[in-house]
Amino acid sequence: MSNALGLAAVTAVLRDLLNNGLIDASVGDVTVSALAPDKITVDNGDSTQLNVFLYQVTPNQGWRNVGLPSVDAAGTARLSNPPLALDLHYLLTAYGAAEFEAEILLGYAMQVMHENPVLTRASIRNSLSPGPVAGGILPPALQTLTAAELADQIEQIKIVPQALSTEEISRLWTAFGAHYRPTAGYQASVVLIEGRKATRPALPVRVRQLFAVPLLDPHVDTVTAQDGKPIVASSTLVAEGERLLHVPMEVVVGGLPATIAERSDTRLVVSMPAGLPAGVQSLQVKHQFDFDTPDEPHRGLESNVVAFVLHPVFGGLTLNPAPSGTGPYTGQARVTVDPVPARAQRIALLLNRTTPATPSSYAFTANRRASDAAPVLVPIRNVARGEYFVRIQVDGAESPLDLDPASSGFGPKVTI
């Protein structure tokens, strides 16, 4: 690979190639330069001059996807140095003092470019090498370019003509701020610039294994409780769908692995993981692949994520002070909830009269707690005395309420 001096090295080789070609053609005293067009002044002396100018650099389409510089997980050690691949665009311009001089000069120059479509490694070394001339005698710029390593890059540089439209040429010379001269466009491709930072390459692959697996991704349609009731922390979940069965596999509930009790291609029965807070949770089926490299399951196909509501369970409340008299009750309720809510969750106590009365319902928000282990305390104000159905609401998920008269657990209820 070349280095950052590659662009200047290509220009220097082209200038040397044109200079040698014009000398061999015996076209007379001609100056070959590599300057910006606005830096060239020929109006006074009307000297004969040929100029090669790098006016644009573009990414090479064939090499640009080779890769990007990569680092390790810590972001400190460099793992690879993919090359920066560039195409160089040149303008070849002829300046002449008399009639036809510029045209003749441009014709010879284009013939030289045509007969040298590839910059060979030998020609690059000859152009940039000091040769018999002592390094101290060479111009400082040329002394620097000898270290460009252009001749050592994996691809040789090709020179191809470019057709420039009248509009493109007009815009270029307007941008140069110079008078137009006979011009031809060329592209030099490709210059590969590689970094020199130390890398830490990985070890070679010892054993190659290829596995073909069918693309049968699992799909979950519904998630319900096995007993048909609202899903609570003690529920057993039933996931129904298609293509669920696989070996090995995993069911993730709320981000935690769940134990699979029964499995089939259309139905999975799993236990609820411990520690999930009440609220919206999710279930996902993950199929894994055992490639024996290493001997552990690898990540494979994953199902869609199905959301369900994990309802809290009301465990009772204690009123402080205890209700007395007949007037409206004001005090504080200490509520027991399963699972224990996190301190950041919003908790509300919902009361509904068991008999027709006005007002018929109340909703009170719990005080903010200092930690997850702190008790749930709900201030209650001006509650009419009577019997109430009671529910606890955690982040919008309400505790189940049994209103079936045939059920022995009719309620839960509280008397205030």
Which bin fits 235, alpha (ψ -120 to 50), beta or left (φ > 0)?
A: beta
CB contact at 8 A, 151 and 125: yes
Q: Name the most confidently modeled range: 13-27, 52-66, 221-235.
A: 221-235
CB contact at 8 A, 57 and 89: yes
- Cβ-in-10-Å burial (0-12, 13-18, 19+) of 332 comes to middle
Give 369's pLDDT tier (boundaries 50, 70, 90).
very high
pLDDT digits (tens, 9 = 90+) for 143-189: 666 656 888 888 899 999 999 999 999 999 999 998 899 999 999 99
Query: What are the tokens at 260?
Result: 């699979």
Query: What SS3 class is residue 22?
Result: helix
Tell whether the model's pLDDT for residue 79 goes beyond 60: yes
d(CA 6, CA 3): 6
Q: Evaluate the omega torsion of the peptide bond into residue 412 and state whether it is cis, within 30 degrees of 0.
A: yes
CB contact at 8 A, 363 and 350: yes
The pairing of strands 376-383 and 297-302 is: unpaired
| Identical fold, 219-310 and 313-415 | yes
pLDDT digits (tens, 9 = 90+) for 314-342: 999 999 999 988 889 999 999 999 999 99
Q: Name the helix (H) or strand (E) containing 301.
A: strand 297-302
CB contact at 8 A, 59 and 85: yes
Q: pLDDT at position 152, please?
A: 82
Let me know if domain 313-415 sits in CATH 2.30.110: no
- Residues above pLDDT 90, as percent of the chain: 57
- CATH superfamily, with its number, for domain 219-310: Immunoglobulins (2.60.40.10)
Residue spans of the domains in the chain: they are 6-193, 219-310, 313-415
CB contact at 8 A, 152 and 191: no
Name the pTM for this structure: 0.52
User: Can you name the residues that pair with 157 across neighbouring β-strands?
Assistant: 119
